[in-house]
Amino acid sequence: MLHAWSRKIVGTVLRRCCCLRVDFRGTAATSCTTEGDRVLPRTMKLDSPQFRALFTPEVKELVDIFKRHGHELRIAGGAVRDLLMHKQPHDLDFATTATPTEMKEMFDNEGVRMINTRGEKHGTITARINDKTNFEVTTLRVDVVTDGRHAEVEFTTDWHTDANRRDLTVNALFLGLDGTVYDYFRGIEDLEKRRVAFVGDPAQRIQEDYLRILRYFRFYGRIAVQPDSHEPETLTAIRENVGGLARISGERLWTELKKILVGNFNKELVCRIVDVGAAPFLGLPESPDLHEFCKVCDASKQLDPQPITLLSALLQNDSDVTNMHNRLKLSAYERDLALFVVAHRDDESSFGDRLKPFQALLFTTKGKVGDVQEWICEVLKYRADAELLERFRCWDVPKFPVNGNMLIERGLRSGPKFATVLTKLKELWFDSDFTMTADELLKKLPDILAEVKTSSKSKKA
């Protein structure tokens, strides 16, 4: 007879997908049962179309290799979570009882090429099967020393021990290749309730790697159905340990933050991230303009703005952009886009045609034309001006008829003066509604040079 806990989950799963066969073992009172020194997980049987679709010839070959050599192999982490949510996984990560040395010997014997050996010290071997697909296989492990950023590990053959080192219950699931899901920490129940919970003590999990603060919020956006139904003890643990984010590299922080910004509940999650005190550790103002951020998120939702465009709503000036860039190690493109958005998001048109100022920006902004076009589109997304965005995208951009060689042939040398002259020629061309020819523009060169010379003298005086 099924326990009440099991009956509830079984009924829900069967209602959602008739091809799932469920068989839970264990009791409702504990996360799992024990047999001697072994901890036994709850299990369920998975037989969905998404699961069956995993078995490409390459996956089958990998499974057969481990079987032939007597090593246990299971799918781990995110792929299991996705399958239980009826999603097709994009990547498969495998866990095994085999050590890296045993895997290398096994793959050598089977003639399987191994690539990217940098992960070996952490237990990961990457095997290329049929010279077509790469699979990362990681030995079960336990964290023996953690410093808030990285861990020193020892290998184990205990699946529960490996599950215990993972961050969230929904990421601590394993899937046997026969369809058996192994759940040591009620991850299936948490998925069913759309609850995001740390494995064990939240504070301890966070202190092992402070990036887990942002990972928590990212997975909340993927799993939860309510925008702000966090467990109070989880938020308390995050607040008490948020300073640890200072120890995490900017690149790792930005990778997580980008995913939060393009995910579900992005505005609510960023507001919560600010609320728990994380903003200064992310290079953001301590008290950013959350009203502006929420307004931009809501208004631009259908226009698919880039993450950095949304984040720019929290920034007031160039100094804010520079601080964020220095902390998060943005790319030069992302930094310049943020600077551009902050500079032009409030531009008002003095022309009859609202498109004119953005056409002008394309020719007067320093940078690659393709990049500047994208930046202008992002400003229009920020402003939620879908009509103007469409007009700008459909505009057949004319080619500026003057090039640098023409100026050099007329005695100009590269430098600030050269760039100023070129910009003024572009302004003349723009004012003519892009009709002036190269000859007509170059005839204006003496007047422009005289104007630049006069301006230079005035500045010196």
278 φ, ψ (degrees, to nearest 5): -85, -20
How much is the pLDDT for 75? 99
Give the residue extent of every domain in the chain.
1-193, 207-249+257-276, 283-397, 401-461
Is pLDDT of 94 > 50?
yes
Is pLDDT of 50 > 70?
yes
Q: What span, in angstroms and rounded, lies between the C-alpha atoms of 413 and 145?
A: 61
Which range is most confident: 37-41, 205-209, 409-413?
205-209
H helical segments located in 313-385: 318-328, 332-344, 356-364, 369-382
Q: Flag the least confident range among 113-122, 195-204, 293-302, 338-347.
A: 113-122
Among the listed residues 223, 192, 193, the one whose alpha carbon sits nearest the alpha carbon of residue 14: 192
Among the listed residues 14, 17, 89, the one whose alpha carbon sits nearest the alpha carbon of residue 50: 89
Which residue reads 């340990």 in tokens? 241
Is pLDDT of 9 > 70?
no
Grade residue 38 by pLDDT with cuts at 50, 70 and 90: low
Is pLDDT of 447 > 50?
yes
Is pLDDT of 455 > 90?
no
How much is the pLDDT for 147? 78
How much is the pLDDT for 23? 36
Provide CB contacts within 8 A for 230, sequence distance 6+.
196, 220, 272
Q: Flag the least confident range among 79-88, 232-241, 420-429.
A: 420-429
202-236 residue pLDDT tens: 999 999 999 999 999 999 999 999 999 999 999 99
Beta carbons within 10 angstroms of residue 7's beta carbon? 12
Treating both helix axes as pointing N-terminal to C-terminal, what angle do 356-364 and 386-394 enclose, rounded to 10 degrees? 50
Is pLDDT of 1 > 70?
no
Structure tokens at 348: 């008002």
Among the listed residues 257, 246, 243, 245, the one whose alpha carbon sits nearest the alpha carbon of residue 330: 257
CA dihedral 106, 109, 113, 118 (to 10 degrees): 40
Grade residue 127 by pLDDT with cuts at 50, 70 and 90: very high
Is pLDDT of 12 > 70?
no
CA dihedral 205, 208, 213, 214 (to 10 degrees): -130
148 φ, ψ (degrees, to nearest 5): 90, -10
Q: What span, in angstroms and rounded, lies between the C-alpha atoms of 242 and 229?
A: 19
Q: What span, in angstroms and rounded, lies between the C-alpha atoms of 140 and 74?
A: 10
The SS3 assignment for 352 reads coil
Q: How far does Cα 51 stand from its chain's mean position?
A: 25
Q: Flag the least confident range among 27-41, 55-69, 80-94, 422-436.
A: 27-41
Q: Under the phi-then-psi rule, with left for phi > 0, alpha for psi from -120 to 50, and beta for the rest, what region is 330? A: beta
Identify the sign of the CA torsion 82, 88, 93, 95: positive
The SS3 assignment for 395 reads coil
The whole model's pTM is what? 0.85
Grade residue 436 by pLDDT with cuts at 50, 70 and 90: very high
Please calculate the CA angle 401-402-404 and round it to the nearest 5 degrees: 145
Treating both helix axes as pointing N-terminal to C-terminal, what angle do 290-299 and 266-275 enclose, rounded to 10 degrees? 170
Domain spanning 283-397, CATH class? mainly alpha
How much is the pLDDT for 353? 87
285-332 residue pLDDT tens: 999 999 999 999 999 999 999 999 999 999 999 999 999 999 999 999
Residue 46 DSSP label: -
CA dihedral 357, 362, 363, 367 (to 10 degrees): 140
Residue 424 DSSP label: H
Beta carbons within 10 angstroms of residue 385's beta carbon? 18
The SS3 assignment for 182 reads strand
142 φ, ψ (degrees, to nearest 5): -135, 140
Residue 247 DSSP label: G
Grade residue 453 by pLDDT with cuts at 50, 70 and 90: confident
> Which amino acid appears at position 320 of this protein?
D
How much is the pLDDT for 457? 66
CATH 3.30.460.10 for the 1-193 domain, yes or no: yes
Grade residue 444 by pLDDT with cuts at 50, 70 and 90: very high
Treating both helix axes as pointing N-terminal to C-terminal, what angle do 250-261 and 318-328 enclose, rounded to 10 degrees? 110
The SS3 assignment for 22 reads coil
Identify the sign of the CA torsion 279, 284, 290, 294: negative
How much is the pLDDT for 34? 62
> Which amino acid appears at position 94 of this protein?
F
How much is the pLDDT for 97? 98
Grade residue 415 by pLDDT with cuts at 50, 70 and 90: confident
Grade residue 20 by pLDDT with cuts at 50, 70 and 90: very low
